[in-house]
Amino acid sequence: MNKEQATEFARKYVSDTLSFFGINVEVAATTDDDVIELDVPSTDLNSLLIGRNAETLRSLQYLVSTVLRNKGADLWRVNIDIADYKKQRAERLAEQAREWIAEVRSTGSSHVAHLNAADRRIVHKVATEYSDIHTYSEGEGRDRTITIAQISS
């Protein structure tokens, strides 16, 4: 299954899964850096689809990714955003990261945060906006942390 087929398969899979629960919406699909991006518009069941701490959303992503991998798709990394939940969360986290960076700059002390992989990626990306700041991740699994530090002159 090539990238275009994988993207269309993922879009249809999510659309069909949602319609099984009576949610009939048009799921948009694009690819970005070898990741299938699926956008589900807002419905009256957003909270159900996202779930507590986005567990349902992550589970749906895992399901789609696993099916693609099992079908031997060229592309199997999947990112699903429901009602711009992830986009808004990323914007809030980016703002928080800028506050952490301001704190690191003013105190000179590093900041350590326990974040999941997707959130660490956002903080790493924000840090690239600052020439005097670097970030690195340490640890394994759920104990993995990100450190924001000032580059010594």
Tell me the domain boundaries of the chain. 3-83, 88-150
* CATH classification (class only), 88-150: alpha beta
User: What is the residue whose two structure tokens read 């986290």?
Assistant: 93
Give residue-wise pLDDT tens across range 13-43: 999 999 988 888 899 998 887 888 999 988 8
Contact 7, 36 (CB under 8 A): yes
β-strands 133-138, 78-82: how paired?
Answer: unpaired
Average pLDDT, stretch 99-117? 91
Decide if pLDDT at 153 tops 70: no
- CATH fold for domain 3-83: GMP Synthetase; Chain A, domain 3 (3.30.300)
Q: How far apart are CA 32 and CA 125, in angstroms?
A: 16
Contact 41, 83 (CB under 8 A): yes
pTM over 0.95: no
